[in-house]
Structure 1
Amino acid sequence: VLRCVDFQFAFNRIDATKSPYLARAIEHELLNMHGDAHKRLSRLLKKALRDRVVEGMRRKIADIVAELVAGLPADGPVDFCSAFADPLPARVLGPVFGIAYEQAEGLNEWIRIGGRKIDALQSGVGIAEVEDANRRIHDYLRDLLAQRRGNPGDDLFSEMMQVEIDGDRIGAEELVFLSGELASAGVDTTRAQLPLILNAFLDHPQEWDKLRADPGLAGRAVDEGMRFAPLPWVIPHRATRDMIYRDIAFAEGDLAFVMVPAANRDPSATERPDEFIIDRAPARHFAFGAGMHSCPGAHLAKMEMSMALLGLLEACADIQRAAPPEWEPGQEGRTLRRLDITIRKMKPLHG
C-alpha cells in the first residue's frame, strides 16, 4: 500500500543510450538535482521570482484569461481543452520570456512535444521527435539569451539572467535548461491540469457554488484539484547512490517512480481522501513533488490556474458538461483529449 509518508517505489532504468541528449536534459533539471547544486539554483530562482516580477506577470495573465473567456461561445457546446486550456500556455509564454505571441506559439509547440522525455526514453517511441523538440527549445533560449545580454526586459527570463547572490549568477547553460524546465513545468502543466480540475468541478457542482460564494478559495481549489485529480501519476527520481529501501536494494542510477495518486489519497494524511472538497485545509498533494524537489514552475502554474478559475467564475453564470470527457492515456499519467462544456455567460449590467 502506498502511503503519504512511506512511499513504495517502482524502479526502472532509463536507457540513456536511446538518447544521451534527453538523458542529459533530465539530469540538468532542477527537479532532479541534489545537494549544493540544487540549493544554489533554487536560491537564485527564488530571488528572481520576486514580488515585482510576479505581480507584473499576474496582471498580464489576468488580461490573457479575460480575452480567452470572452472568446468562449455563449450559445453552444465548446471543447474547453482546445478553446481555452491549449492556447493559454502559449499566451503566457509571452510575458514569461518577453517574446511576441507568434514566437511563443512555436515555443509552445516544442514544449508540448518535448515534455514527453520520460515517456520516450521508457518506451522508445517518438524519441527522435522529442529530442528534436528539446534541441529546438534549448537553441531558441540560447539565441534569446544572446539577444538579451545588455538589453534585458521586464520579463522573468531577463530577471533570471540578471539575478545575483554574493556575486553568483545563473550560468548560461544553467539558464537554458532551468528556463526550459520552468516553461514546461509552469506553463505546459497548466494545459493538461486545468481541464482535470474543471472536470472535477463538473462532477461536484456544489464545490463550484462554494467557490462562487468565496472566490478567495481559488488557490486552495487548485491545490485540491491537483490532489484529487493529479496530472502526473508518477514522478521520477534517480538514485544517487546504492541504497536499500524497505529491504529492496537499488543501484546508483536506478529511477524511482513515486506514485502520486496513491500518496495524494493516503487516508492517514487526508480525511475523506476520495472526496473533492475545495475548502479542506490543507489540501496536501505531491503533483509538484515535495520538499527540495518541488517543481520550480509550481508558483507560475498555480497562479495561471487560479486566475483561470476566477476568470471563468466572473464571466460565466453557469458551466455544464455537454458530453462525456475523452481521455488520453500516457505512461506518466492520463490527460483529457476533449472536455465539452456549455456555458451561460453573465448578463452585462446596465445603468
Structure 2
Amino acid sequence: MPDSPMTVALDAEEFKQDRYGFIEHLRAQSFYARTPDGGTIFYNQEDVAEIFKCRDFRFYFEGIDETKSPYLKKAIDHELLNMHGVSHDRLSRLVKIALRDRIVDGMRQSIEAISRDLTAAFPNTGEVEFCADFADPLPSRVLGPMFDVPYVETEGLNDWIKVGGRKLDALQTGVGIEKVEEANRRIHTYLRDLLSERRENPGEDLFSELIQAEIDGDRMSEDEIVYLSAELASAGVDTTRTQLPLILLALLQHPDELEKLRAEPGLALRAVDEGMRFAPLPWAIPHQATGELEYKGLKFRKGDVAYALVPGANRDPSAVKDPQNFNITREGRSRNFSFGAGMHACPGAQLARMEMSVALHDLVSEFSTIRLLERPDWEPGHEGRGLRTLKLHVERGAEHRRPQ
C-alpha cells in the first residue's frame, strides 16, 4: 500500500480544470486520497462498490442542521436512500415488488407518446434549446402515468418537485428553506389525498402498486408510501432532466458514435448506459463508517467519512477497457455507478434508463441533423456536471418532415 496518498479538497481547482486527468494523477499515487479534514476518497471500482454495499458504511448527508427544518429532516430520514440495515432491507423488498417489469414496461407506451409530442414541436429546420424544450418537460410529463393522474395536475406537482428536491441544500445552507419546506408539504399533502383515493380504487399505476405491495402480510405505512413516492418522483424527474443532456452532449462531441446510433437506433439503451459511465451526474457520494473497522490496511472509526468518487469509478482502467473512450458498442454493458450500486442502487433506475433511451431513439430517428450551435452553458459551480442550456440546430429527415 502506498504510504503517501495525496490530500485534496473535493472542490479543488484541479478537478475543475481537468477532472479526469487529475483523478488519474491521484490514482497513480495510491488507491485512495485524503480530504483536508481527514475524509477518505475512493475512486477505483472495487473500493467504490465496497462502500456502496453499505455493510460497514452507510449513506451520509454532510453538514445538515435539522433545527432549520425538522419537517425536512424527517422527510430525508424516511427516504430509502438514507435507511440502513433491517429497515432498508424491508422497504427495499417491498419496492421491488411494486417496481415489477409489468409496471415499468406498461409505462413505455405513454413515454413514447410523450417523446413524440415533444419532438413534434421542434421545427423541421432550426434552433432548439434542448434542456427547456425536451429534457425538462419529458420527465415531468411522465409523472402523469406514474401516478395515473391528468397531465394538468402534474404541472403543479412538477413545480413543487423542482423546488422541494433541494432539501439537502436547504438544510445545509438555510437558503430558501421556507420555500423548500412549503413545496415538500404540498407534495406530501397531494400524495396523502391521492393515497386515500387509491386505497378504495386502485389502478394499474406505480402508485397503486406501492400501496398494494405485500410480503407475508407486511405492507408500507402511509408515511412510507408518501415519502417513498415523493423520493421516486423527485429522483425520476431530476435525474432524467439533468442526465439526458449530458448523454446527448457526449454523443454530439463524438460524431462517430452519434452516427452509430443513427444507423441502429436500437442501441439507444446501450448509449444511455455508456453515456452515464462517461459523463455521470453524481460526483462524490459521502458515507460514514458504522463502527470501527479496517479496510485494505486503512483504519476507520465510527463516524469517519469515506467518499465514493463516481467519475473515477466509472473510468477505472483496471475495470474498463479504454475507459477514456466513449464507445456505445463496447463489449458488455457499461458498468457505471451513476445510479449507485448494491444496497443503495437507485430504485427508479430502470424507469429513468427507459425514459432516456426512448428519447435518444426518437431524436436520432426523427432528425437527420443534430449539432451544437454554441458551447454548452453549465450550471454555475457545477461545470462538467449539469447543463443549464444546450442549444442545437436540428433538421428533420425528409420522411419525417411536418407541415409548418
**TM-score normalised over the length of structure 2:** 0.80
The within-5 A match list for 1:94-109 is: 94-109=144-159
Deviations 1:272-330 (A, max 9, x none): 22221111223111111111110111111101001111111221112111111000035
User: What secondary structure does 2:200 align onto?
Assistant: coil
Per-residue deviation, 1:82: 0.4
User: CA-to-partner distance for each residue in 1:60-104, whole Å, 9 max, x for gaps?
Assistant: 101111111111122211100000011111210000011111211
The separation in 1 between residues aligned to 2:287 and 2:162, in whole angstroms, is 22
- Show the counterpart of 2:180: 130
Q: Distance in 2 between matches of 1:85 and 1:65?
A: 10
The 8 Å contact of residues 111 and 142 in structure 2, kept in 1 or not, is answered as yes
1:189 aligns with: 239
Corresponding residue of 2:388: 337
Partners of 1:325 and 1:85 in 2: CA distance: 14
Distance 1:11 1:294, change over 3 A: closer
- Worse-superposed segment, 34-43 or 299-308: 34-43
Give the whole-Å Cα distance in 2 for the aligned partners of 1:298 and 1:64: 19
> Match for 2:120 among 48, 58, 70?
70
Equivalent position SS for 1:46:
helix
Distance, in Å, in 2 between the alignment partners of 1:191 and 1:124 is 25
Report what 1:317 is aligned to. 368
**Pairing partner for 2:338 from 276, 287, 301:** 287
Cα pair 1:316 1:344 within 8 Å, conserved: yes
* SS at 2:196 equivalent: helix
The AA in structure 2 aligned to 1:258 is A
- Residue 91 of structure 2 is matched in structure 1 by 41
* Structure 1 residue 6 displacement after superposition: 2.2
Q: Give the TM-score normalised by the residue count of structure 1.
A: 0.92
* 2:265–2:365 contact (8 Å) kept in structure 1: no
* Equivalent in the alignment of 1:3: 44
Q: Provide, for residues 230-277 of structure 1, a one-character-per-residue CA deviation record: whole Å limited to 9, x for no partner.
A: 11213343544455666454444x665422112212221212222211
Unmatched segments (≥5 aa) in structure 2: 1-25, 27-42, 52-56
Per-residue deviation at 1:13? 3.9
In the aligned structure 2, how far is the partner of 1:331 from the partner of 1:323? Answer: 19
Partners of 2:327 and 2:372 in 1: how far apart?
19
8 A Cα contact 1:21 1:131, kept in partner: yes
Aligned residues: 349
Q: How far did residue 19 of structure 1 move?
A: 2.6
Q: Does 1:201 align with 2:251?
A: yes
Shift in alpha-carbon separation, 1:30–1:336, aligned structure 2, 3 A: same
What one-letter code is carried by the residue in structure 2 that aligns with 1:189?
T
Aligned to 2:129: 79
Identify the match of residue 58 of structure 1 among 89, 93, 108. 108
* Higher mean C-alpha displacement, 320-329 vs 111-120: 111-120
Structure 1 residues 349 and 13 mapped into 2: Cα distance closer, same or farther (>3 Å)? closer
Please list every run of 5 or more consecutive structure 1 residues that lacks an aligned counterpart in the other structure. none
Q: Is 1:277–2:318 an aligned residue pair?
A: no
Choose 44-53 or 63-72, whichever is displaced more. Answer: 44-53
**Percent of matched pairs sharing the same residue:** 60
- Within 2, Cα distance between the matches of 1:308 and 1:37? 36
> 1:146-185 CA deviation, whole Å, 9 max, x = no partner?
1212111221101111122221112111001111111111
Say if 2:275 is the partner of 1:225: yes
Question: Which has the larger Rg?
Answer: 2
Q: Matches of 1:126 and 1:305 in 2, distance apart?
A: 30
Secondary structure of the residue aligned to 1:78 is strand
Displacement of 1:18 after TM fit?
2.8
In structure 2, distance between residues paired with 1:241 and 1:179: 31
Relative to 1, partners in 2 of residues 1:136 and 1:332: Cα closer, same or farther, differing over 3 Å?
Answer: farther
Correspondence for 2:222? 172
Map Cα deviations across residues 83-133 of structure 1 (whole Å, 9 max, x no partner).
001111121000001111121111111111122222223333222222222
Asked if structure 1 preserves the Cα contact closer than 8 Å seen for 2:280 and 2:385, the reply is no
**Equivalent pair of 2:366/2:396 in contact (CA under 8 Å):** yes
TM-superposition CA deviations, 1:2-28 (whole Å, max 9, x none) = 222224999944332333222222221
Paired residues of 2:61 and 2:286 also in contact (CA < 8 A): no
Matched with 2:16 is none
Which shows bigger deviation, 271-280 or 202-211? 271-280
Query: Is the Cα–Cα contact under 8 Å of residues 61 and 168 in structure 2 kept in the other structure?
Result: no
- Could you say what secondary structure the match of 1:319 adopts? strand
Amino acid paired to 1:64: I
Counterpart amino acid of residue 376 in structure 2: P
The one-letter code of the counterpart of 2:44 is R
Q: What amino acid does structure 2 have at the position aligned with 1:166? A: D
**Compared with structure 1, are the counterparts of its residues 34 and 349 closer, same or farther at alpha carbon in structure 2 (3 Å cutoff)?**
closer
Distance 2:307 2:245 in 1: 24
Residue 214 of structure 1 deviates from its aligned partner by 2.4
